[in-house]
Amino acid sequence: MNILIINPPAYKGKEYIREGRCMQMKGSWSSLWPPLTLTYINAILRKEGHNVKLIDATADKLDYKDLKDKIIKFRPQAIVINTGFPSVKGDLELSRIAKSIDQGVKTIAIGMFPTTMPEYSLNYFKYLDFVILHEPESVVKELIHELEIKKSQEDITTKGVGYRRMGKIIVNKKEEYFQDLNKLPFPLKQGIDNTRYVYPFDGKNFSLINIARGCPYDCVFCLASENYGKKLRKRSIRSIIDEIKHCINIHKIEYFLLWSESFSLDKYFAENLCNAIIKSKINVKWMTNSRIGELDSELLNKMKKAGCFLLSYGIETGSQEITNQSLKNQKVEDVKKTINLTKKVGIETIGHFIFGLPGETKDSAKETMKLSKNIGLDYAQFYCAVPYPGTNLHKLAKENNWIMTDNWDKYETAYSIMNNKDLSADNILKYREMSFRLFYLRPKILFNNLIKIRRPVIFFEGLLEFLKWSFRFKS
């Protein structure tokens, strides 16, 4: 089959990252991420013998007219469309465009929106034929195989697929996640321009390496378990090392984000991965994320030696009460200790904070602002809590009538769409905006960032985008 895989264009002038639970405007130093999941699907379908074309319309600055021309030229029999909550109306406009060219083309949506709202997706987007629930790689493969051998889409049996049958919406629930990650081929980057994804201080290419999937925690605001499930599934160390070498040798990629829900969920695995990187003698620089309280000096030193230069921590709040209500399962008193341990070994830190979680008050918001400034972070990101369907936060917000809009454009961490009993949505947003200014406009932070610049043009272009992302602009 001719199959087109698309990361959709910018939506209303805003470029979005759409990678599983991460659905936000281009923001962290204004960097776009390569579409990791789409490159996996690209590799799998090509291996099955299909004629596949992958397009990252966001990175390539393509608009809907450009994509229409490409659809006309390629004549796909199926189109796989990546989606995110805030851009979904624009993303699934592609299904209408595709059907206007060829009524017979099968339109398939992946991402958190169709995962958590399969019936709504098929009801609301009438040109959409199929939705994929949860991690999509193996499901897309099986669905395409069924479409090849069956004349009608009315009799689809693939697990993890939603579709229409006799005018009714059918959702074949997925019973389990793909267990052996080592059976996945390396993500195939053919079709994307790797120079579009850069670390902004020096403009070096970067990519994501998926090292594990699944998260056992129950944070009320997070979609992680909806995406990859609760059971931790790890790739083999050998497979990860081979992929890193492949990216360096073939694609000249120099920076990596080792992507999982937390690098240190299995400390033995993390230690062995670091040992393997050191033993392989590959010159690699990488970032990753971890949880507060999971790392010790021994592992941090090993990570530094293996090339880790930046660690990302989900701190969320300065209030232990809010932490507990969010089921975060960490202690605020451990935050400063963890940041100090990380910086002591020479690894930079970025903290992530959320305003508007259940129980948030003026006092707790101020605690968060104070904590973010006083623990020695190199970078910080500040968000508004988003009541994504599929999360316990959404259930709680619906029960208490906190949600102000069902406009999906606003389901993004740069917007505040949820009141609580103590704070209005506008007040929550103001705390986010104020936190950015108070953190980044300090002379020490400005100076430390300026001395890291290797390519000023890229940095200052990124700075403008970052400021747009950091502060609210009317759309």
Which of 61-75, 187-201, 227-241 has the lowest average pLDDT?
187-201
**For residue 298, what are the CA distances in angstroms to 241, 267, 474?**
21, 11, 47
Is pLDDT at 473 greater than 50 in this prediction?
Answer: no
Residue 155: per-residue pLDDT = 78
Burial of 159 (0-12, 13-18, 19+ CB in 10 A): middle
**Pair (26, 65) in one structural domain:** yes
pLDDT of 461: 56
Same domain, yes or no, for 230 and 160? no
Please determine, for residue 460, whether its predicted confidence score (pLDDT) is greater than 70.
Answer: no
255 phi and psi angles, rounded to 5 deg? -120, 150
pLDDT > 60? residue 417: yes
Q: What is the mean pLDDT of residues 372-382?
A: 93
Q: Does 215 lie in the same domain as 151?
A: no
Q: How many CA atoms lie within 13 A of 176 on its CB side?
A: 6
Mean local confidence (pLDDT), 55-66:
96
Residue 133 has what pLDDT?
Answer: 94
Q: Would you state the pLDDT for residue 77?
A: 96
CA-nearest of 311, 180, 186 to 248 is: 186
Mean pLDDT on 351-361: 96
Q: Which domain holds residue 412?
A: 197-470
CB 351 within 8 A of CB 320: no
Domains identified in the chain, total number: 2
> Is 354 among the domain residues?
yes
The answer to the question of residue 159 being in a domain is yes
Q: Which of 172, 206, 230 is the last residue of a domain?
A: 172
d(CA 338, CA 330): 11
The answer to the question of residue 347 being in a domain is: yes
| Band of residue 204 on the pLDDT scale cut at 50, 70, 90 | confident
Specify if 414 maps to a domain.
Answer: yes
Question: What's the CA gap between 140 and 136, in Å, rounded?
Answer: 6
261 shares a domain with 331: yes
pLDDT of the residue at 451: 61
| pLDDT for the residue numbered 475 | 35
Q: Are residues 398 and 286 in the same domain?
A: yes
| pLDDT at residue 440, as a whole number | 84
Residues 93 and 213 both lie in one domain: no
Find the length of the chain.
475
What are the backbone angles phi and psi of residue 379, rounded to the nearest 5°?
A: -140, 160
- Over residues 134-154, mean pLDDT: 87
The span from the CA of 452 to the CA of 204, in Å, is 13
pLDDT at 10: 95
Q: Which helix (H) or strand (E) holds 408?
A: none
Task: Provide the percentage of residues in the chain whose pLDDT is more than 90.
Answer: 77
Q: Given a cut of 80, is residue 150 above it in pLDDT?
A: no
Report the CATH number that the domain containing residue 10 is assigned in CATH: 3.40.50.280
The most confident of 22-26, 42-46, 280-284, by mean pLDDT: 42-46
**Rounded to whole angstroms, how far apart are CA atoms 429 and 247?**
40
294, 264 Cβ separation under 8 angstroms: yes
The answer for residues whose C-beta is within 8 angstroms of residue 311's C-beta and 6 or more apart is 287, 288, 289, 290, 295, 303, 342, 347, 348, 349, 350
**291 has a pLDDT exceeding 50:** yes
Could you report the per-residue pLDDT of 107-116, keeping only the tens digit for each? 999 999 999 9
pLDDT of 299 over the 50 cut? yes
CATH code assigned at 271: 3.20.20.70
Query: Residue 244's pLDDT band (boundaries 50, 70, 90)?
Result: very high
Q: Rounded mean pLDDT of the chain?
A: 90
474 falls in which pLDDT band (50, 70, 90)? Answer: very low
Reply yes or no on whether the pLDDT at 416 is more than 90.
Answer: yes
Q: Are residues 18 and 167 in the same domain?
A: yes
> What's the longest Cα–Cα distance across the chain?
66
Does residue 465 surpass a pLDDT of 70?
no
| Residue 76, phi then psi, degrees to nearest 5 | -70, 150
Smallest CA-to-CA distance from 19 within 48, 56, 70 is with 56
The residue out of 172, 187, 211 marking a domain boundary is: 172
Whether 30 has a pLDDT exceeding 70, the answer reads no
Q: Extract the runs of DSSP E, i.e. beta strands, from 227-319.
A: 233-234, 255-259, 285-290, 308-316
